[in-house]
Structures are given as structure tokens and as C-alpha cells.
Structure 1
Amino acid sequence: MKRIAVCGLAVLAAALTACSPAPSSGADVEARILDALPEDGDSGEVRMVDILPDARWDRLTIGCPYEEAWEMSERLQAWSGSVPDLAQRDDAQAIVLARGDAVERAWLLDREELDLCGPGAEPEVLARDEAVLSFTQDADGRWVAD
């Protein structure tokens, strides 16, 4: 009987987590960004506070291919928490959120449909209220950050 109760609680906890409004994966964040972009246009802007309204953060940065974790931490001035290391990757990018001196959350996103690290994109720190990303659609239909 005790085993059934423990299993029941585990299933309930998993179900509640799955219903959480916060994005659970990079694919979820990517889908939210793509949904916010116009279907019939070739450019658009996305307010990240609208994409990540329930996440706890006061600033964010984008991690681009070949960037090391310490570079993102240094840029954010956030030393605790997990930051992805992209030093050996050209197929991934990251959105990293920070609050105070801690990294609150980071998501890895692939670069097939959405490229946050387009030509001329410089790594920067964006404050929550000012975190607006501008995109243009390239000839292949991929959204690329300006």
C-alpha cells in the first residue's frame, strides 16, 4: 500500500510539473518565440518578458556557438547556477536568465528555425524591461536575430 501511495504522489508531482506555465525546454521557448512572430511577415519583434512571464529574472543574455560558459557568467555577473558551455558546438544557442548574482535558468535551443546569433549580433545583457529581440526572415524561412 505504501508503494502505491509513493507511486501515486510521483505521478501527481510529474503531472503538476508538466502543467507549469514556465517553459520546460529549449524547444518550448523556441516555440513561444516562433508563435510570437508574424506568420505573414518577414520581420518582427519579440518582448522576452512576454515569452518568459513567470520566470524569475532581471536580465538575460544570449549564448552563441563556440562561447564558453564562463563568458556568459561574466557578462551577466552571475556566478552561481548552471550555464551551458557552447565552446564545442555550432548547432546550439542558449538563453540564460539571471537575477542578482545567480543564474536562474538557461535553455539550449537549436538553430534550424530560429537563430539568435545572426550576423552582426553582439553578445549583450538585456534588462527584463528592455529585452526585445528583433528578427528578419531569411530566404530559407528561418528567423534570424538582428
Structure 2
Amino acid sequence: MKRTLAALSLVLVAAGVMTACAPTDGDDEERIVRTVSEGSIIPVADLVPDDAKRFTIVCPYESVEDVATRLGVPAKTVPDLSKRDDAQALIVVTADGVDAAEFPRDRVDLCSTEGAWAVYEKTDTATAAVARKDDVYVVTR
């Protein structure tokens, strides 16, 4: 019994450490909030981590297939927001694969502009405008 409890404790501690060290969607959201709060015009490349090669934003009602084709990634790596309007997602292609972070639109709204986001490279110099409306950072491109 003691061995079983000790083994279970070890597994739970290991799982907790792995979870604590893994990046979460909240980490991505916090980075984006920090970035958009820094000015009224921001480089879109500042929305993503340094290891990004290319990226796009998934907005409500976009089909998984359209986003996957646009970014050139497998459809299974794209969050399905095709029937939702409460969330958006950042999809980043790195040397290690595809990272997708879904987060709500109640702090930062990257999807207020009509039409789909383009695919951007980390080296892209395109900018986006940021305005504050009802305590939400609204980003327009």
C-alpha cells in the first residue's frame, strides 16, 4: 500500500511539473495583451514568439479547411471556430511544428476587421492599429 501511494504521489508530482512548465494558451494571450498595450500601431510580427516562421489568426466562423490551406498546415492543427464567435486563435508554424493557441475576445479582439488574416512571416513589417474600446484592445489591420 505504501509503495502504491508513493508511486502515485511521484506520478502526480511529475504530471504537475510537466503541466507547470508547458506553455498554455493563457501565456500566448498574456504576450499578445502586453504587445497590443504598448502602442497604437504595432508590427504584426510582434504578436508571435521569436521562434515563429509564419503565422495567422483564426477568426470566428472561418472554416478549418480554409485556414489550413492558407497556412499550409494539416487541418487537425487548426482550432475549429467555424460555429463560434466568442474566440480567436493564433496559429504559429515553428521549426518544431505547429502551435495553436485559442483565447477569448474579451481582452483583445484580433477579429474586428472583415475578412481573413493573411499569413505573415516573422520578418514581415506589416503593422496593425490598436484602439481601446470598452476595456478591450481592438486590433485592426
TM-score range, shorter-chain basis?
A: 0.7 to 0.9
For structure 2, the residue ranges without an aligned partner over 5 or more in a row are none
| Residue 140 of structure 1: how far off its partner (Å) | 1.7
Give CA-to-partner distance per residue, 1:87-142, whole Å, 9 cap, x none.
11111111112247x95221111111211112246421111233876341233231
- Give how far 1:65 is off: 0.5
Amino acid at match of 2:105: R
Asked if the contact 1:116/1:144 (under 8 Å) is kept, the reply is yes
Alpha-carbon contact 1:64-1:86 (below 8 Å) kept: yes
Length-normalised TM-score, structure 2: 0.76
List runs of 5+ in structure 1 lacking aligned partners.
none
Q: What is the match of residue 111 of structure 1?
A: 105
| Deviates further, 122-131 or 86-95 | 122-131
SS of 2:73's partner is coil
Contact 2:108–2:137 (CA under 8 A) maintained in structure 1: yes
Once residues 114 and 64 of structure 1 are traced to their aligned partners in structure 2, the CA distance between those partners, rounded to angstroms, is 12
Q: How far, CA to CA, are the matches of 1:99 and 1:81 in structure 2?
A: 16
Note the C-alpha offset of 1:38. 3.5
> In the aligned structure 2, how far is the partner of 1:133 from the partner of 1:14?
40
Residue 15 of structure 2 aligns to which amino acid in structure 1?
A
Residue identity (%): 30
How far apart are 1:63 and its partner, in Å?
Answer: 0.3
Contact 1:115–1:142, Cα closer than 8 Å, also in 2 = yes
The answer to which of 130-139 and 83-92 deviates more is: 130-139
Q: Which runs of 4+ in 1 moved over 6 A?
A: none
Whole-Å Cα distance in 2 between the matches of residues 127 and 142 of structure 1? 26
Task: Give the length in aligned residue pairs.
Answer: 137
* CA distance, structure 1, for counterparts of residue 41 and residue 58 of structure 2: 21
Does 2:32 match 1:33?
yes
Q: Tell me if the contact between 1:62 and 1:123 (Cα under 8 Å) persists in the aligned partners.
A: yes
The Cα shift of 1:70 comes to 1.1
Give 1:23's aligned residue: 23
CA contact (8 A) 2:31 2:47 kept: no
Distance 1:117 1:23 in 2: 23
**Mapping for residues 29-108 of structure 1, pairs under 5 Å:** 29-38=28-37, 43-45=40-42, 47-49=46-48, 52-53=49-50, 57-79=52-74, 81-99=76-94, 104-108=98-102
